[in-house]
Structure 1
Amino acid sequence: MAVHFFHTSDWHLGQFFYHHSRQYEHQQFLAWLIQQIQEKQPHALLIAGDIFDVINPASSAQKQLYQFLADAHEAAPHMQTLMIAGNHDSGYRIEQVEPLLEKYNAKAVGLIHWKDDQTLDIDRLLTPIFDAEHNIVAWCLTLPFLRPAEITGFNEQTQDSQSAIEYLHQQLIKEAKARKTPEQALILMSHAHLLGAEESDSERPIIIGHQEALSTQLFGDDIDYVALGHLHKPQQIQKPNIRYSGAPIPLSFSETQYKHQVVDVHLDPTAPPDQQFQFEPLIIPRSINLHRLTGELQEIFQKIQQLATGEITDIEQRDYVDIEYFSLTPPPLDLRQQIEQALPANRYRLVRIVRKMLQQEGDQLIESKIDLEPPTPEKLFQQLWQNMGYTPDTEVERDFLLLLEEAQNIETPHAEG
């Protein structure tokens, strides 16, 4: 029996990009995705985490998700939508609306649940996928982002994060194999960082030296497809059937060259080995462009003159411009004003100007960078650690980042204006 599904992740609904809302860009993506669902009628839509950008998303971001689920259900009533929490999501929040999700043939897994006897609640993590005739065509193993506090200390197999992660995968795969029939596929959806994967600079740095990155050996040969979320670049890890779908829009200027996509997957365990797995990347149209202009100041102004012209009335629909310029001398005091005046009127949003100083040392020019962006907590911690006279310590830095991650995921009242 063949199963047909879409794999997507890292929507980051509600994101602000240099204080600019991405709501228009997300709405364009979601409208495009509805068209794909209407046209191709998959059995399931898998959303592999980081649905929202923050754990307390604005009401507008939540409305965007739930309106999409309603529209998707109308476009393909038999399609199941399965989603998991990522490290940006609140697992509690996305599970709270379960009665609403059921109306749209959707399910969210935000947390690892344990029974009173300290055994894993496997039923919540294993979901059958049905075809239009309600036959089970696949089983989906749903693993949200695994925080140590939620998976360790429950039994002898969960004394530390690594053993707990191995235990979870072993138990889930064992039970899934027991439930499936030979013609049914096994799909694992996870929000995790795998060894060998390529990162961008917009992903939250919670891993030091890849100590917490997972190995593909966890999946064995029993899983027909691994649908991953967390890293924003579309990529396969070691095998074509272990894939990150990537984010649907560029979440930083380092992601402008990514081919943002939804992965359209067909699986048939009964087919010959070389025909069991087929996928097609559905390339997502980019509604807003990101322009990074680099060079000496004179070159910057020349590149500005080459930009497209024509006013765009709605500010949310204007392109972003990021400038990194080289200079031997300090910039003029009114540089930003000069650049804004040079940019075509009402067409672009200038989000950042960074000066890369050039210093003369003999016959060579040495580059140093002055970034006016505020320092991150990680950089402040590193500076303080060094100022206290300590040498860099990866264990200490890793502990700090884990504490930071926990602090960022403490739910606090959210006031909306």
Structure 2
Amino acid sequence: MRLFHTSDWHLGQSLHGQERDFEHACFLDWLLGQLAARQPDVLLIAGDIFDTVNPPVKAQERLYDFIVNAHEQQPALTIVMIAGNHDSGSRIELPAPLMRRLRTHALGRVLWLDDGQLDAERLLIPLPDAQGNTAAWCLALPFLRPAEVTGVTLGDDYLRGIGKVHELLIDAANARRQPGQALIAVSHAHMAGGAVSEDSERSLIIGSAEALPASLFGPDISYVALGHLHKPQKVNGEERIRYCGSPIPLSFSEIDYPHQILEVTCEGEQLVSVETLRIPRAVELLRLGPEPLDDIALQLAALPDVDLLDDPARQPWLEIRVRLDEPQPDLRQQLETALQGKAVRLVRIGAEYAGRKAAGDDDSPLIDLERLSPQELFSRVWQDGFGNEVDAQTLDDFAQLLQQVQLEGEQP
């Protein structure tokens, strides 16, 4: 059996106000081509399908057009997609009955039966091979929110609740599978030891619990297809537990990420190989600086001029970071004038000021609020207001309140 592992599409994402629909369209066209050429049995989408819980109509059209096109092109293909922390679980599941006719399974939430048992049946998906025989079972684990894994039965310990869900689902899968059938988990989570992007991955911290242990996925699981972290990586060096990463750079901090999908091959219960398929980048991201303004001006002058025969939608996105001795009220105007006729699209200007300490201020560079998680921002405000670090209990209370607000915002 062969599977494609993808994640973190973030359809509908914008880069400092600029939509990325062209880049997503290029990726989905490329993915359709890879499906046609390599004919995998299964396509896994490990969460963060959309960038927001209320994605724009165009982003939803991209997803459903892709599913229809993939099914028409390859009728035997099974697609499994789960909700990530950026997604609304209920929105992901809303068209599920219709999508099942296209051999697509959409799982957004964990549900419990009236007797307090996990509804494991809906999270276990048979994966047929090219001959139509069940070669594996998929354990679908959408992003687990506190309300789904805590309560009267499981208690209030979030990590313990997550562990219980994994234990119950793996037990149910082992009870269902026959000898020779692999178990494939698809999950959206932050695993301990994973490298996090500088400014584009929303924190999954719940209270003081930041990352999940890889031991949740025991040796019974042949392969774990993870989503959430945008940098491709193995968890603890394990070949079978992997993040494939995002298909496009979602921030300037991801310029050097190798964007890819993974082709996973199993024979029976054994993982045979994991092959990298690199995704061509439709639009480059350029970051200049931080440098003094004069040096930045020289770099801008060296940028290529606009070629009228080139597609403007492929012009690189540009971030400029300037180091200044004093404020420059017309900084943007100076930079935009220098960029006239250049084949780039300016999306962000950042300024760092020297000499702040001499003026009686902190000598550290200005903080970009977009790069601070809500927990980090809360901690800084607490430190400034009370003169001491926030205690763990208060940070836990804040995190629970933040989760409650995010859940309320997900209601359609």
TM-score by length of 2: 0.91
CA distance in 2, matches of 1:24, 1:380: 33
Corresponding residue of 2:159: 162
Residue 208 of structure 1 contacts residue 397 of structure 1 at CA under 8 Å; is this kept in 2? no
* Aligned residues of 1:128 and 1:140 also touching (Cα < 8 A): yes
Deviation at 1:153, TM superposition (A): 1.5
Q: 1:212 to 1:332 in 2, by over 3 A?
A: closer
Are 2:219 and 1:221 equivalent residues in the alignment?
yes
Identity %: 45
Query: Residue deviations 1:126-145, cap 9 Å, x none?
Result: 11100122100111100000
Are positions 1:291 and 2:283 aligned together? no
Change in 2 beyond 3 A, CA 1:374/1:222: closer
Establish whether residue 181 from structure 1 lines up as the match of residue 167 from structure 2: no
Gaps of 5+ in 1: none
User: Residue 316 and residue 347 in structure 1: after superposition, are their counterparts in 2 closer, same or farther (change >3 A)?
Assistant: same
Equivalence for 2:254: 255
How far off is 1:404 after superposition?
2.0
The structure 2 residue matched to 1:280, chosen from 271, 275, 280, is 275
Distance 1:151 1:39, change over 3 A: same
Match of 2:318 in 1: 321
- Indicate the residue corresponding to 1:59 in structure 2: 57
Single out whichever of 15-24 and 390-399 deviates more from structure 2.
390-399
Matching of residues 11-410 of structure 1 within 5 Å: 11-155=9-153, 157-200=154-197, 201-207=199-205, 211-238=209-236, 239-269=238-268, 276-294=271-289, 295-311=291-307, 316-327=313-324, 329-345=325-341, 347-359=343-355, 368-370=364-366, 377-378=374-375, 381-389=378-386, 391-392=388-389, 393-410=391-408
The 2-side partners of 1:244 and 1:330 are apart by 43
8 Å CA contact 1:7, 1:48 repeated in 2: yes
Partner Cα distance (1:149, 1:75) in 2: 39
Change (3 A) 1:391 1:91: same
Residues 236-291 of structure 1 deviation map (CA, whole Å, 9 limit, x = unaligned): 002011000111111111101000101111111366xxxx4201111111111111
Provide the C-alpha distance between the structure 2 equivalents of 1:396 and 1:371, rounded to a whole number of angstroms. 24
**What CA distance in whole angstroms lies between the structure 2 residues aligned with 1:176 and 1:240?**
22
Give the superposed CA RMSD. Answer: 2.4
Q: Secondary structure at the match of 2:354?
A: strand
* Native 8 Å contact 1:291 1:322 kept in 2: yes
What displacement does 1:349 show? 1.9
Letter in 1 for 2:330: D
Q: Would the alpha carbon gap of residues 375 and 135 (structure 1) be closer, same or farther in structure 2, given more than 3 Å must change?
A: closer
Question: 1: distance between equivalents of 2:368 and 2:133?
Answer: 57
Is the 8 Å Cα contact of residues 182 and 269 (structure 2) preserved in structure 1? Answer: no
Unaligned runs of 5+ in 2: none
- SS of residue paired to 2:11: coil
- Displacement of 1:375 in angstroms is 8.8
SS of the equivalent of 1:368 reads coil
Paired residue type of 1:322: E
CA distance in 1, matches of 2:232, 2:371: 29
Distance 1:212 1:334 in 2: 42
| Contact 1:186–1:225 under 8 Å retained in 2 | yes
Answer whether contact 1:311 1:345 (CA < 8 A) is retained.
no
Residue 331 of structure 1 and its aligned partner are, at CA, apart by 4.4
* Matched residue SS, 2:386: coil
Amino acid at match of 2:295: E
Cα displacement (A) at 1:356? 1.9
Work out the number of aligned pairs and report it. Answer: 403
**Distance in 2, Cα, partners of 1:83 & 1:227:** 11
DSSP 3-state at the match of 2:280: coil
SS at match of 2:69: helix
SS in 2 for 1:138: strand
Shift of 1:69: 0.3
2:53/2:410 contact within 8 Å kept: no
